[in-house]
């Protein structure tokens, strides 16, 4: 019913291209997350789906209709804004019922639907309050309530949790996840927070500079990123990248080294590497294992700052070649600043990318 398809969608303001040809397919009932750094065009893309921004070229279909030129109200979409966008002069009940009021629904119908939405979102006691009497989380609940009463085919969320504090954000994240399972409606969720993306999404769309970098399931992107940007964007702390020299390229096996790294052979995912060329070796901080014997390790450096979090220890390491690196040790460890430290790692869990173009 509400499959969403974007084909070569573009958006420009004058001569500035904001969205540069995006192809995305979102299946019915799927939870898609658009993620990327600020200015990557993710919100613009969402607003284009909502109909709040014009589409310069390309086709956008919702269900089996091309909706490029349809006004927002005819697209059967509901949207939840970062700033909540609830009407300050209306009670919670009036806010939630707004779409129904506009459509001229009867009082009985409004009451029933508002009651149902309030039950789903557990906000029955709030119905007669005004927005000024609500906390941020409660306001966002009202905004979600307003979206669900109309039974839209698609829900759009524009960074809905960004204005909430950390604890509340986690609660609401779970609520939204539950809501999706309960309603089974297609949802598009925009965020710059990779944790939200990883935890909520069926499908993540990573955007950068108005272009899609990679589309896939969260774990697919985490384990098989197609480029250094995606690899670095997902995961916390983010992936370490080492500038390395290619020693030998033999079929799929590529041997690389640098000043701090003893030669290591990794299997290539893609790209062309020739002996003597440069490459980028990506290692997630969690996959670095401190070697008991520094001499037996593959990566050499000294301990910089260590942050002890209880379950893990985040270490900033100054490598022998002057670069720095982050390691996440999976236990509480006491490390002395300036002490030499060495790491081993499983080459199978490394990612090799083309060198950053200077």
Partner 1 sequence: MASRFQHSNRAGWLMAGPAAALIGLFIIVPFALAIVFSFTNQRLISPNPAEFIGLDNYRQLLGVATLTLAPETDAAGAPVVENGEVQYPALRGYTRNNPDYPGLRGMREWFSFDWGDNRTFVLARDVVFMTAIVNTFIFVLVVAPVQGGLALGLALLINQKLRGINVFRAIYFMPVVVSIVVVSLLWRFIYDGNSGLLNNLLGFLSFGFIPPVDWLGNPSTALGAIIAMSIWQAVGFHMVIWLSGLQTISPTLYEAAALEGASKWQTFRHVTWPGLRNTAVLVLIVITMQAFALFAQIDVTTRGGPLDSTQTIVFQAVQRGYGKQDISGGSAISVILFVIVLAISLTQRWLTREKR
For partner 1, the binding residues (CB under 8 A) are 50-52, 71-73, 77-79, 81, 83, 85-90, 98-99, 101-103, 146, 150
Nearer residue to partner 1 within complex by CB, 98 or 223: 98
Could you tell me the smallest distance in angstroms from the CB atom of residue 183 to partner 1?
A: 18
Could you tell me the smallest distance in angstroms from the CB atom of residue 91 to partner 1?
A: 11
In angstroms, the CA 168 to CA 81 distance is: 17
Nearer residue to partner 1 within complex by CB, 99 or 235: 99
Instruction: Give Cα 210 distance to the centre of its chain.
Output: 15
Nearer residue to partner 1 within complex by CB, 87 or 243: 87
Secondary structure of residue 6 in the 3-state scheme: strand
In angstroms, the CA 203 to CA 32 distance is: 5
Secondary structure of residue 210 in the 3-state scheme: coil
Nearer residue to partner 1 within complex by CB, 65 or 73: 73
Instruction: Give the CA distances from residue 243 to residues 93, 102, 240, 277, in Å, rounded to whole numbers and listed in that order.
Output: 58, 59, 10, 11
Nearer residue to partner 1 within complex by CB, 85 or 253: 85
H-helix or E-strand spanning residue 209:
none
Nearer residue to partner 1 within complex by CB, 188 or 318: 188
Could you tell me the smallest distance in angstroms from the CB atom of residue 113 to partner 1?
A: 13
How many CA within 13 A on the CB side of residue 337? 4
CA torsion, ordered 96, 98, 99, 100, to nearest 10 deg = 90
Could you tell me the smallest distance in angstroms from the CB atom of residue 43 to partner 1?
A: 12
Could you tell me the smallest distance in angstroms from the CB atom of residue 231 to partner 1?
A: 34
> Quick count: other Cβ atoms within 10 Å of Cβ 240?
22
Could you tell me the smallest distance in angstroms from the CB atom of residue 72 to partner 1?
A: 5
Q: DSSP letter string over 70-107?
A: S-GGGGTEEEE-TT----TTS-HHHHHTHHHHHTT--H
């Amino acid at each position: 019913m509400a499959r969403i398809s974007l084909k070569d969608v573009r958006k420009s303001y004058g001569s500035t291209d904001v969205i540069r040809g995006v192809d995305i397919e979102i299946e019915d009932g799927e939870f898609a997350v658009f993620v990327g750094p600020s200015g990557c065009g993710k919100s613009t893309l969402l607003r284009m789906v909502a109909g709040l921004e014009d589409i310069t070229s390309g086709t956008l279909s919702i269900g089996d209709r091309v909706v490029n030129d349809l006004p927002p109200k005819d697209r059967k979409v509901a949207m939840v804004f970062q700033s909540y966008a609830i009407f300050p002069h209306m009670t919670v009940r009036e806010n939630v019922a707004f779409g129904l009021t506009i459509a001229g629904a009867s009082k009985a119908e409004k009451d029933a639907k508002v009651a149902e939405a309030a039950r789903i979102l557990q906000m029955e006691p709030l119905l007669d309050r005004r927005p000024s009497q609500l906390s941020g989380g409660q306001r966002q609940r009202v905004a979600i309530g307003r979206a669900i009463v109309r039974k839209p085919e698609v829900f759009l969320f524009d960074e809905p949790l960004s204005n909430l504090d950390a604890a509340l954000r986690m609660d609401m994240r779970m609520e939204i996840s539950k809501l999706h399972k309960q309603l089974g409606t297609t949802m598009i969720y925009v965020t710059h927070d990779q944790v939200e993306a990883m935890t909520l999404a069926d499908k993540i769309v990573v955007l950068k500079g108005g272009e899609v970098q990679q589309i896939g399931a969260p774990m697919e992107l985490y384990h098989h990123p197609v480029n250094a940007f995606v690899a670095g964007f997902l995961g916390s702390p983010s992936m370490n990248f080492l500038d390395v020299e290619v020693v030998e390229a033999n079929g799929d096996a590529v041997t690389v080294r640098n000043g701090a790294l003893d030669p290591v052979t990794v299997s290539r995912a893609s790209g062309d590497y020739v002996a003597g060329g440069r490459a980028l070796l990506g290692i997630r901080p969690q996959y670095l294992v401190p070697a008991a014997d520094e001499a037996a390790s593959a990566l050499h450096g000294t301990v910089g700052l260590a942050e002890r979090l209880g379950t893990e220890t985040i270490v900033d390491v100054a490598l022998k070649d002057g670069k720095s690196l982050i390691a996440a040790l999976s236990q509480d460890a006491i490390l002395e600043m300036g002490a030499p430290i060495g790491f081993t790692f499983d080459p199978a869990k490394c990612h090799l990318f083309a060198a950053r173009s200077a």
